Amino acid sequence: MAQGAPASTLRVRGLVSRFGTQVVHDGLDMDVQPNEIFGVVGGSGTGKSVLLHTILGLRTPQGGSVELYGKDVQQMAAADRSGLVRSYGVTFQNGALISSLTIAQNIQLPLREYYPASEKTLDELAELNLALVGLAPDTGKKFPSQLSGGMVKRAALARALALEPKLLFLDEPTAGLDPISAAAFDELLLYLHSQLRLTVVMITHDLDTLFRTCSRVGVIVDGRMISGTLEDMLRNQNPWIHEYFHGPRARARAAAVPGAAAAPTENNG
């Protein structure tokens, strides 16, 4: 990735989010460069999900701007927005698969909406997306309630990939998975990232995932975001960040971190 790369894929400036008198974001800035895996970290109640909802346009912030591919999400006309929605894929924390549809129908749902094609082709595309996330073709005939937690996460990822996005938003993709499934998900994500050249924004609390996959990390502290590479974070003296990356659970991982990942170093504290 070149240092002088074009505009950021995602650019948030001065974001303010309030619920009544409670201020969640107070001038939050965030930049995601093309083709990186960006991890968003923060304590409970620091507004990680609020940030995601704001970026996706599901929530109107009290101030600030969100730009995706250089276009302001809030200022956008409805017609442009529908085109924008197709350019990214989202997985929600609990999968959010439609429970009355089979997995294959879930994957075909956005395809049917946007790209008319024959049933045979739709079946083939469902099979493709299942294969991409490492699920067997007969998984498509099952209903979400018949799948295990790990399979639900993969199926949700398959649905997010259906429209061939360049940008993926993942909300806690490994939460609730056993370490083996979570590690397998990490590998899957890295594999898809390299093969499909995806940009990934991931909210996660899983330190293993963070150290394994993310090229840069943004930590939400006091309503603002401090971002940088993992090495920057390990050196950061902010009490919360220090506690997070040097706590008892993190110490073991930190010892195992390989050399700095090749990623642009941008440290806006």
Binding region for other proteins (CB under 8 A): 99-100, 111, 114-118, 121, 124-125, 127-128, 131-132, 136-138, 143-146, 163-164, 195-197
Q: How far is the CB of 255 from other proteins (least distance, A)?
A: 34
The CB-of-146 to other proteins minimum distance in angstroms stands at 8
When the beta carbons of 137 and 179 are compared against other proteins, the nearer one is 137
Q: Angle at CA 9, nearest 5°, toward 8 and 13?
A: 65
Q: What angle do CA 216, 222, 224 make, to 5 degrees?
A: 45
User: Least Å distance between CB 88 and other proteins?
Assistant: 14
Q: Which two tokens stand for residue 226?
A: 């401090």
Work out how close the CB of 54 gets to other proteins at its nearest, in angstroms, rounded to a whole number: 27
- Joined together, the tokens standing for residue 6 give 């074009």
Q: Given the complex with other proteins, which of 118 and 237 has the nearer CB atom?
A: 118
Burial 46-58 (b: 16+ CB within 10 A, else e): bbbbbbbbbbbee
Q: Are 154 and 182 in contact (CB under 8 A)?
A: no
Q: How far is the CB of 99 from other proteins (least distance, A)?
A: 4
* Nearer to other proteins (CB atom), residue 19 or residue 114: 114
Q: Which is nearer to other proteins, 80 or 243 (CB)?
A: 80
Of 79 and 256, the one with the shorter C-beta distance to other proteins is 79
What is the largest distance, in Å, between two alpha-carbon atoms of the chain?
Answer: 57
CB neighbourhood size of 146 (10 A): 12
C-alpha 222, offset from chain centre: 22
Sign of the four-CA dihedral 94, 98, 102, 107: negative
Is residue 102 helix, strand or coil?
coil
Q: What distances in angstroms separate CA 257 from CA 120, 229, 234, 246, 250, one per listed residue?
A: 46, 12, 10, 13, 11
Pull the structure tokens for residue 142. Answer: 């099952």
Nearer to other proteins, 16 or 163 (CB): 163
Q: Residue 90 CB, nearest distance to other proteins (Å)?
A: 17
